[in-house]
Amino acid sequence: MSKTWSNRFEGSLDQFIQRFNSSINFDKKLILEDIDCSIAHARMLCSTKVITNDDATKIINGLEKIKKDFENNMFDPSQPAEDIHYFIEEKLINLIGDVGKKLHTGRSRNDQVGTDIRLWLRKEIDNINHLTIGLQKVLFLEAERNLYTLIPGYTHLQRAQPLSLAHHIMAYLEMFSRDRDRLMDVRKRVNISPLGAAALAGTKIKIDRYLTANELGFEDIYKNSIDAVSDRDFAIEFTCASSLIMVHLSRLSEEIILWVTDEFSFATLTDKCATGSSLMPQKKNPDVPELIRGKTGRVYGNLHALLTIVKGLPLAYNKDFQEDKEPIFDTVKTVKDCLSAMTILINEGLEFNKDNLMNAVEEDFSNATDLADYLVEKNVPFREAYQIVGNLVRTCLERQCLIKDLTLNELRGFHVDFENDIFEKISPKNVVDSRKSLGGTGFDRVSEELKNWKNELFH
């Protein structure tokens, strides 16, 4: 292995410092992007006549061969190469000889690493987007099966008003759809080429930045070479968008964890996703949603790390940037794993206990608002109706009964305008169905939304 540094250096690096300095153990993930970046760079140098056709062909064929060998598992990038960029360059020189030494003309590892990581992240953003669509699809199918299944709706984790289970599930479709919008928005800023910024100032070598940008599928190029090599906003934005995906996965996880408790019993874990206890034979644990909820912390940590890494850095490139890789890689892996796990959990790991759900909405005061709204329809001012129903609920609590257990006469004792139709109106099904306002849980509205989502996800 040739010495990395120029002849300016007389001695060699301390062995520990060499390892400390090195990033190859993690940035080898960028190998294919690094090779693509170099192929584009070589083509460009040829087109601007900085290198001859012949040299370019040798360099490009050499790089293609390295790529094939890697894909055939013929080597694994490792130390003593400091990073993947040096590793490939040295491998090329070993393979094709001195002409390989022309590859690094007019570029620096600073613009090179920026290009590689953007190419890699762009691909992974698309993967995450697809996994999010996959999760949305299984959530949609669960919603579609449960238009008329009712579930208690909560505020403050106190029973509030009954809902269509489909409506509840589709709230998550909305969240994940915003997540996808955010990913696509970040993608625009990931998809800008820093290549050609060289170390920080540009280069006097005749290069064509648009040519390499086009070749690599970038939408545009960075306008300022200093910004090009020192911008990591895109990585922070990506991790921020990922943190929100994790927020949504974690909230859904938390609900599932509650639903499968004995206390709620709204759903049951199938054996596909449930785990046992090593001690208590009766246990069936929701490890999958718990892990997703727990892993959310890692992604927030990665966001915090990236923000902190960048905050004090003077322009332009600083080695601190090498520390951006692991948080980015870990975020991608964690988000992809959690999206996949949640998709399996929803698809085959969870069964709703419809009977328990239906019974749950029969056994509470979540129709109290409807009693008040009933009086409002009879021209009673809302605040007055609200107090009347408050008294009525208190009486029920004292008598340990539900509203539906009162007789019409008893109801009339609270307000004379109660008629016999009140009992029908406060049945959970009608309570849900009556919420016909836009965005509400009324069955008509929810079934319109199901139709919209079906078009959106399965067109």
Q: Which two tokens stand for residue 8?
A: 């300016």
Q: What is the dihedral of CA 441, 442, 445, 446, to 10 degrees?
A: 50
Nearer Cβ to ligand ARG, position 83 or 179? 83
The most distant pair of C-alpha atoms in the chain lies apart, rounded to whole Å, by 102
Q: Which of 156, 278, 437, 459 is catalytic?
A: 156
CB atoms within 10 A of CB 292: 25
Q: Which of 12, 78, 130, 277 is catalytic?
A: 277
Omega before 316 within 30 of 0, i.e. cis: yes
First to last CA, the chain: 55
Least distance from ligand ARG to the Cβ atom of residue 318, Å: 9
Using the minimum distance from each CB to ligand ARG, give the nearer residue, 102 or 109: 109
Residues 6+ apart with CB under 8 A from 102: 45, 51, 55, 59
Give the separation between CA 243 and CA 246, rounded to whole angstroms. 5
Q: Is 130 one of the annotated active-site residues of the chain? A: no
Shortest Å, Cβ 22 to ligand ARG: 8
Closer residue to ligand ARG (CB): 113 or 150 = 113
Report the residue number, 6 or 155, with the smaller CB distance to ligand ARG.
Answer: 6
| Residues near ligand ARG, by CB under 6 A | 23, 27, 83, 109-110, 113, 317, 319, 321-322
- Residue 162 Cβ, how far from ligand ARG at the closest point, in Å? 55
Q: Is 277 a catalytic residue?
A: yes
**CA atoms within 13 A of residue 120's CA, in its CB half-sphere:** 21
User: Quick check: 307 and 328 in contact, CB under 8 A?
Assistant: no
Rounded Cα–Cα distance for residues 126 and 191 (Å)? 12
Q: Residue 275 pairs with which residues in a beta bridge?
A: 285
Closer to ligand ARG by CB, 113 or 128: give it. 113
Considering the complex, what minimum distance in angstroms separates the CB of residue 101 from ligand ARG? 18
What are the residues whose beta carbons fall under 8 Å from the beta carbon of 278, sequence distance 6 or more? none
CB of 319 to ligand ARG, least distance (A): 6
**Which amino acids are annotated catalytic?**
156, 277
